Amino acid sequence: MKSIEIRIPQLGEGLQEARLIRFLKRPGEEVTKDEPVFEMETDKAVMEIEAPASGVLEAWSANEGDVLRIGTVIGRIALRDGSHTPLPGLPTTEAPVQTLMPPASGNEARAGVVPPRTRAYAKEKGVTDEELGILAARVSRLMPADVDRYLAERAEGAPSQQAPESDERFADVPLSPLQRTLVARLNHGARRVVPGTLEAHMAWDGIEDVRRRLKQKGLRRTSQSLLFAWCVAQAARSHAKFRSELLGTDTRREYLHLNLGIAVARPGDELVLARIDAADALSFHEFLEAYTQSVLRARAGEDQASDTIQLTVTNMAAQRVRRGIPVLVAPAAGTLFVGEAFDQAVPLPGGGVGFRKMAVVVFTFDHRIANGVGAASFLNAIRRRVENLPREFEDLLNA
Select the more confidently predicted residue: 151 or 280. 280
Give the domain ranges of the chain: 3-100, 106-161+172-184, 195-398
Select the more confidently predicted residue: 3 or 83. 3
Residue 102: asked if its preceding bond is cis (omega within 30°), the reply is no
Cα–Cα distance for residue pair 187/203, rounded to 1 Å: 35
Domains 3-100 and 195-398 share a fold: no
Select the more confidently predicted residue: 187 or 86. 187
Whether 177 and 359 have beta carbons less than 8 Å apart is answered as no
With the C-alpha atoms ordered 364, 370, 374, 377, is the resulting torsion angle positive or negative?
negative
CATH topology of domain 195-398: Chloramphenicol Acetyltransferase (3.30.559)
Select the more confidently predicted residue: 110 or 289. 289
Tens digits of per-residue pLDDT, 340-380?
Answer: 999 999 888 888 888 999 999 999 999 999 999 999 999 99
Tens digits of per-residue pLDDT, 196-251?
Answer: 999 999 999 999 999 999 998 888 889 999 999 999 999 999 999 999 988 877 88
Q: Residue 329: pLDDT above 90?
A: no
Average model confidence (pLDDT) for the chain? 82
Q: Residue 107: pLDDT above 60?
A: no
What dotted CATH number matches 3-100?
2.40.50.100
CA distances, 341 to each of 203, 353, 354, 359, 393 (Å): 9, 19, 16, 4, 21
Residue 105: which pLDDT band, with cuts at 50, 70 and 90? very low
Select the more confidently predicted residue: 110 or 255. 255
Cα–Cα distance for residue pair 52/33, rounded to 1 Å: 6
